[in-house]
Amino acid sequence: SELVLMYDIPVRNTLYNCFADSTSVEFDRSLRTFTLHLIPTNNIQCATLPSGVRVNLTVASPAFPNIMTLNVSDYSYANTSEVVFPITIPKVDLDTFTDEQYVFVTIESFKDIAEIEILIFDESKSDLENCFEDLNLLIDHMIDLNIQPAQQCINQIVSQVDNSNSYVKTVVLRINTFSFTLDTDNFIDLYQLQVNGTIELDSTPEIIANIALIRQEPFLDGLLLITSIQGGQEVILQYIISQITIANIDGLFLETTVSLQDDNFYTFFTTNPTLIAQWLEEPNNIGYTDIIYRLSGRLSDSSFITFQKYLTAPFDPSLRDICFSCNAGNAQDKQRCLSFYNNTLKLGGGEFFLDILLFKDEEFLDNEKNILQYMSSPWKKADLKLKRAEFCLDAFDRTQESSADSAFKSLSVGQSGAVFFQIRNKTASTDQNLVFQKPVSQIEVQIREQCFNCDDLTDSSKKNTCLMYLDKGLNLADQIMYFGLTVPNVGTQTSNVLKITKGDYLVVEAVVVYACGVIISIACLVICVVHIMFTHKQIKIMKKKNRHK
């Protein structure tokens, strides 16, 4: 025979109306918690719930298929107002989790069960998401982290000694792929002062070597990672470094722009020769053998590109512009470059940098990084033609053989700008530099051919130089020439620059006049010859008549 044991399974008593409709659940994405806020109705029947209960939370979301359960040993119906559920499931993607419409809670004991339908579901932004007013980095031959604390995290950015349940465990600074562990106690002490402060990284050989590599990076992105213990749960908080600055010599670059022209990226710049000389004579830079000019560009769609031009010492202070062409490299490089070129035009610009890097053979010495101002020109290119007393530029639109449409859009109705033409001597001397500028309206800027007359120059020596260039047009090949449009903005002005790379350096009007002179001379010669032949013929006729007499 088989012995069958029978047990009485207790039926729990369901308690109703224990909690008000304003009872809510709050979701904290940063701390990975659900907090149940209980508002009792003071129903005397619900007071039978003991101090040891189990609280179950059901969230109507595929992200949480299982019921979350928490055992509470010090529960009080009248006094317990908050129950925190940590999200312990490691693979839950909270980024895809949105506000839910339904949450169900039960509070159970051996005999009783209280059921709560949650009508209020909130998502809170933890104070830990906004612990800093500002974070920025200065990188020279060391790294300085500048922090501006926010007051709301003063109770969370503490040490384990101060609060064993909620404290900062580690602080890590990340720059691109490089990570640096900061002194946690120093970081906490600085934060607690609630004033702007600086943390300087130790100058260990490893850190110094990493700084040299970081300074060679075309782009820099930084994060401050704080590992925090909150209510027994470990969370990693990420704060974006708002600004990363490579220390430069103030005033070394005088003007720097980048312009897109005929499938090329042109960088235009001038440098202070005195400061350049001082920079090259710094102890760390003495003995440099190679110079790299690097153009780096990054767009809002996260695409980026870098170009490098290698030069050997000595430094050439007369270098004013560098062309980085999409026509260089293999087919894949060309396609990638042209794609970036077209996207830059489509997106209206991006983030561009010009670096001058010094090397001694293969050893990195120093870097001067400068932000380039992006210039958007309505023209794709401009060809130069010389006339008897003026320079004329034939401007081509980016999409068609006319500058009208794009140039028209550069100026608003009723707005005036200025077209300019510059001739710069390649040497450091500025005696032979010429600058022409004339105002244009929205209608006038559509004119394809823009001309600049020597008589427009007020300086007599400049006017003579202008005429010299026109008389000896081939000498212009030794100069740097720019053409552009200046558009006034609120409080500033934007110059759109093209470098003149092609042109007909013949004096057009002189050629026409010369040709006309030749034609007239030939015509006169023909007339003279005909007249001589006619005269000779008449003399013969007269001689014959005399013989007959």
How much of the chain is in helix, strand and coil states, percent to nearest 5? 25, 40, 35
Do residue 359 and residue 280 come from a single domain?
yes
Cα 113 to Cα 106: distance, rounded to the nearest angstrom: 7
Contacts 24+ apart (CB under 8 A), 92-100: 92/63, 92/64, 93/63, 94/29, 94/32, 94/63, 96/63, 97/27, 97/29, 97/61, 97/63, 99/27, 99/123, 100/59, 100/60, 100/61
Higher pLDDT, 496 or 513: 496
Strands 379-386 and 243-246: unpaired
Which of 124, 157, 185 terminates a domain? The answer is 124
Is 389 part of any domain? yes
Locate tokens 């509470």: which residue? 72
Is 448 part of any domain? yes
How many other CB atoms are found less than 10 A from the CB of residue 122?
A: 12
Higher pLDDT, 497 or 39: 39
Locate tokens 């670096």: which residue? 355
Do residue 486 and residue 395 come from a single domain?
yes
Percent of the chain with pLDDT over 90: 35
Q: How many domains does the chain have?
A: 4
Both tokens assigned to 285: 């830079």
With bands split at pLDDT 50, 70 and 90, how would you rate the model's confidence at 14? very high
With bands split at pLDDT 50, 70 and 90, how would you rate the model's confidence at 78? very high
How many other CB atoms are found less than 10 A from the CB of residue 464?
A: 12
Do residue 228 and residue 337 come from a single domain?
no
Q: Are 293 and 322 in contact (CB under 8 A)?
A: yes
Cα 399 to Cα 240: distance, rounded to the nearest angstrom: 40
| Chain centre distance of CA 525 | 70
Q: Are 81 and 39 in contact (CB under 8 A)?
A: yes
pLDDT value at residue 511: 32
Which of 332, 358, 375 terminates a domain? The answer is 375
pLDDT value at residue 501: 61
Is 87 part of any domain? yes
- Single-letter amino acid, residue 473: G
pLDDT value at residue 151: 80
Is 521 part of any domain? no
29-33, 143-147, 397-401, 465-469, range with the lowest pLDDT: 397-401
Do residue 446 and residue 351 come from a single domain?
no
With bands split at pLDDT 50, 70 and 90, how would you rate the model's confidence at 437? confident
Is 64 part of any domain? yes
The answer, yes or no, to whether the previous bond of 218 is cis (omega within 30 of 0) is no
Is 532 part of any domain? no
pLDDT value at residue 472: 65
Which residues lie closer than 8 Å to 359 by C-beta, 6 or more apart? Answer: 288, 289, 290, 291, 292, 365
Do residue 346 and residue 369 come from a single domain?
yes
Average pLDDT along the chain: 80
Do residue 396 and residue 504 come from a single domain?
yes
Is 26 part of any domain? yes
pLDDT value at residue 136: 95
Cα 135 to Cα 198: distance, rounded to the nearest angstrom: 10
- Asked if pLDDT for residue 321 goes beyond 80, the answer is yes
Q: Are 485 and 445 in contact (CB under 8 A)?
A: yes
Do residue 383 and residue 503 come from a single domain?
yes
Higher pLDDT, 402 or 545: 545
Q: Are 442 and 414 in contact (CB under 8 A)?
A: yes
Do residue 203 and residue 272 come from a single domain?
no
Q: Are 397 and 455 in contact (CB under 8 A)?
A: no
Give the range of the structural domain holding residue 451, as residue numbers without chain letter.
Answer: 379-508
Which residues lie closer than 8 Å to 519 by C-beta, 6 or more apart? Answer: none
Give the CATH number for residue 314. 2.60.40
Cα 338 to Cα 356: distance, rounded to the nearest angstrom: 24
42-51, 91-100, 521-530, range with the lowest pLDDT: 521-530
Is 283 part of any domain? yes
pLDDT tens across 217-271, in order?
A: 999 999 999 998 876 778 888 999 999 998 888 888 887 888 887 788 988 888 8
Strands 493-499 and 503-507: unpaired
Q: Are 107 and 126 in contact (CB under 8 A)?
A: no
Do residue 272 and residue 286 come from a single domain?
yes
DSSP per-residue codes, 63-113 = T--S-EEEEESS--TTT--EEEEE---TT--GGG----S-EEEEEE-SSEE
Do residue 398 and residue 503 come from a single domain?
yes
Which of 226, 246, 266 terminates a domain? The answer is 246
Classified as helix, coil or strand, 269 is: strand
Do residue 354 and residue 447 come from a single domain?
no
Do residue 259 and residue 216 come from a single domain?
no
